Amino acid sequence: MITDIEFVSQFSTELGEDYACAKSYVRDIPTQALVFVRSFTHKLAALVAKQQQLQFTSPNLYDRIEQLNQHRLLDVTAIRAMHKLRADGNRGAHPEKYHLTQAQLVALAEKSIHQILALVSKVSAQLCEQALPKYRFVAFDSFAGRDLCYRAMMHNDHHAQYLVAMSFKAQALMAQEQANTVSLDQTSVDNTAAEVQRLFSQAAYWFAQAAPFEDAALFEHGVSLLHGYDQISAVANAHPSKEDAQAQQKAQSKQGELFIAKAASVGVVEAQALLGYFYLVGSQAFKVDLAKAQTLLTQAAEAENVEAMSNLGVLFYQSQQLEQAYLWVNKAAQSGYPHAMYHLALMLANGEGCQQDEAESDRWLQEAASQGQLDAMLHCATQILHDDCASKEALVKAEAYLHDVIKYGHNVAAMIELSVALADGILGRIDVMQSAYLLTQAKLHAMQNSNEIQLQVIEPLWQSLLMQIERVIELTPSEDELTALLEAKRLLI
């Protein structure tokens, strides 16, 4: 019996190559695996169009899949599967923005591999006169990661060096995302921060090695300088004063921006997107220039960079070209970018550049929230908590959303909402201990941010919760309940 790679290769040699590459990276470099998943989806769309003599009218993968759908060249389940693979490929580019851990990313890549096999089976049955033969699935392995490290170190293989660096960067960003939560104790924070810095430094080293030879590595080297990835080497090599360290970091950041500009000039899409952003908002090396911003963001957006699409929408929105703003924000949202989904929902709610559509706005809010967009999660959770008819399942979702918004965004409004819900029994239980803890955290963050408005909101809630605790203590609760009540009271006095 043939293997799964041979199975896909019999359908298309080119698709088989992308599938084999994607599968080989699943365990060690899942971000790279998902890059190949997206490439596979692009090539599959092109193959179907060519076979059916369809001329695409857009370079955007979402538009191409929809064009296949409009011409009924594939059935609905195949179209949905292609959109799912497209969205998963986008997640691979920025896993930290979806709050994914390394384990979750590996699971996502594994699932995408199995979805590819199911899709190939379905498409081959629709397009070919006979179905492809049965196959056996060969288990995932970790050979590719070890091979890359060997080639990077022993053979000075610059592409391998770039891929190794990308793996370190992805791990660092995800670890950093986890470190920036409010639930870790100080020892965990210190240990995680050290690990994050180690991973960033490793990424910076390998990007620097590959930068003279790989355009994509040149861009990433610029990003590593811009964000100061290699702080370990900087500290080890010298002990500058605070002023000297700031000047050094400023010079390094400017050099990073110049490397990014150089990468943009040779057509690196991500570099064009970032340089366009520099021109949109201004940076150390580049002053605001909206004409240049529009040119660069358009180039990157047309090459399917979702952040460029979204920022191009921002550019048009700021200049009150609302129809153009809606066009690009909509494209970014349709391409799976959660921040664009949220802003599309706001535009639909207000009828900016489009027909006002509350139902469609709510749909995009729900989608953005499900993809981890914190503003959308807070909005949806607040709606649920203020709905007297909310179901038990909806309330569970609202609580989960608020916990994530607090964990990843340190959001004071979310802390207040969840504290009130727990004190008032809105979630089906009363938990004054957790309510008091959340309120103290909200007050602490509001004070750190010097936010007087939030402090004015917190104060009466604080006094009300304290009175509630004292009244319950007077009712002679059980020993365990009394212990919790006294601890909650201690937090508030």
Note the pLDDT of residue 351. 97
Q: At what angle do helices 143-154 and 158-179 cross, to 10 degrees?
A: 120
Tell me the torsion sign for CA atoms 238, 240, 242, 243. Answer: negative
Ranges in the chain, pLDDT < 50: 184-185, 235-236
Contact yes or no for 276/293 (Cβ under 8 A): yes
Note the pLDDT of residue 130. 65
Note the pLDDT of residue 6. 94
Note the pLDDT of residue 232. 52
Note the pLDDT of residue 265. 97
Note the pLDDT of residue 385. 95
List the one residue out of 211, 209, 197 whose CA is nearest residue 169.
197
Note the pLDDT of residue 91. 78
Note the pLDDT of residue 125. 83
Note the pLDDT of residue 12. 92
3-state secondary structure the chain: CEEHHHHHHHHCHHHHHHHHHHHHHCCCCHHHHHHHHHHHHHHHHHHHHHHCCCCCCCCCHHHHHHHHHHCCCCCHHHHHHHHHHHHHHHHHHCHHHHCCCHHHHHHHHHHHHHHHHHHHHHHHHHHCCCCCCCEECCCCCCHHHHHHHHHHHHCCCHHHHHHHHHHHHHHHHHHHHHHCCCCCCHHHHHHHHHHHHHHHHHHHHHHHHHCCCCHHHHHHHHHHHHCCCCHHHHHHHCCCCHHHHHHHHHHHHHHHHHHHHHHHHCCCHHHHHHHHHHHHHCCCCCCCCHHHHHHHHHHHHHCCCHHHHHHHHHHHHHCCCHHHHHHHHHHHHHCCCHHHHHHHHHHHHHCCCCCCCHHHHHHHHHHHHHCCCHHHHHHHHHHHHCCCCCCHHHHHHHHHHHHHHHHHHCCHHHHHHHHHHHHHCCCCCCCHHHHHHHHHHHHHHHHHCCCHHHHHHHHHHHHHHHHHHHHHHCCCCCHHHHHHHHHHHHHHC
Contact yes or no for 348/364 (Cβ under 8 A): yes
Note the pLDDT of residue 181. 63
Phi and psi dihedrals of 103, rounded to 5? -65, -40
- Whether pTM > 0.85 for this model: the answer is no
Segment 16-55, tens digit of pLDDT: 999 999 999 998 888 889 989 999 999 999 999 999 999 9
The token pair at 444 is 């602490």
- CA pair distance 79, 60, nearest whole angstrom: 15
- CA pair distance 370, 261, nearest whole angstrom: 35
